[in-house]
Amino acid sequence: MNKFTRMAVGALTVAAVIAPLSTVTTASALPAAGKDWTTLESLNRAKQQACKVSADEGTVWKIYNRLDARRMPRRWVRVRSTLTATRSGVPTARDWDSGWVRHGNVSAVGTFKIPKTGPWALTMSIYGDNAGSGGELTAADIRHC
């Protein structure tokens, strides 16, 4: 082996060791890691899920949301879900939309905050191309992360 080949092999070896370590670090830093998800609604084994943590010195709930379509049958190509905060029954700009999620995938985790006190509620929906479901709930219906 010449000097260039030894350096290339050495660099590849270092990269092979570092890449899995950085993947482990990244995976453990994901917002979804270790959360105790509450399933808000299911549609053909796709699950809209949320959990909450106290934030801003205990004055608000930070709500994490995701759509898990890993167990959805293949004949259901895609699903979508939303979660919107309402104040006195009026929708606010505090909302989350999963976007379309294909069979076998999980959406990105999204968050928004709502005050712990006052007339706040949540409206959720989950739907596919041909069916859907939805309803209202409160932050008290969602478990802590």
Q: How far apart are CA 23 and CA 87, in angstroms?
A: 41
Split at pLDDT 50, 70, 90, the class of 33 is low
Q: Residue 86 CA to chain centroid, in angstroms?
A: 20
Q: What is the pLDDT of residues 95-142, one digit of tens each?
A: 999 999 999 999 999 999 999 999 999 999 999 988 899 999 999 999
Q: What is the mean pLDDT of residues 14-26?
A: 38
pLDDT of residue 35: 83
The pLDDT value recorded for residue 11 is 41
List the Cα angle 24/80/98 in 5-degree steps.
45
Q: What does the pLDDT read at residue 4? A: 41
Whether residue 6 has pLDDT greater than 80 = no
**Side-chain half-sphere CA neighbours of 3 within 13 A:** 0
pLDDT bucket at 29, cuts 50 / 70 / 90: very low
pLDDT at 7 over 50: no
Res 75: pLDDT: 87
| Per-residue confidence (pLDDT) for residue 41, from 0 to 100 | 95
CA–CA separation, 42 vs 139, rounded Å? Answer: 18
Beta bridge partners of 53: 62
What's the Cα-to-Cα distance from 123 to each of 16, 40, 107, 110, rounded to whole Å?
Answer: 46, 10, 19, 15
* pLDDT score recorded for residue 76: 86
CA angle 64, 130, 76 (to 5 degrees): 70
**Cα pseudo-dihedral 81, 137, 43, 107, rounded to 10:** 30
Distance CA 50, CA 71 (A): 17
Q: pLDDT digit string (tens) for 62-100? A: 999 999 999 999 888 899 999 999 999 999 989 999 999
Does the pLDDT value for residue 30 go beyond 70? Answer: no
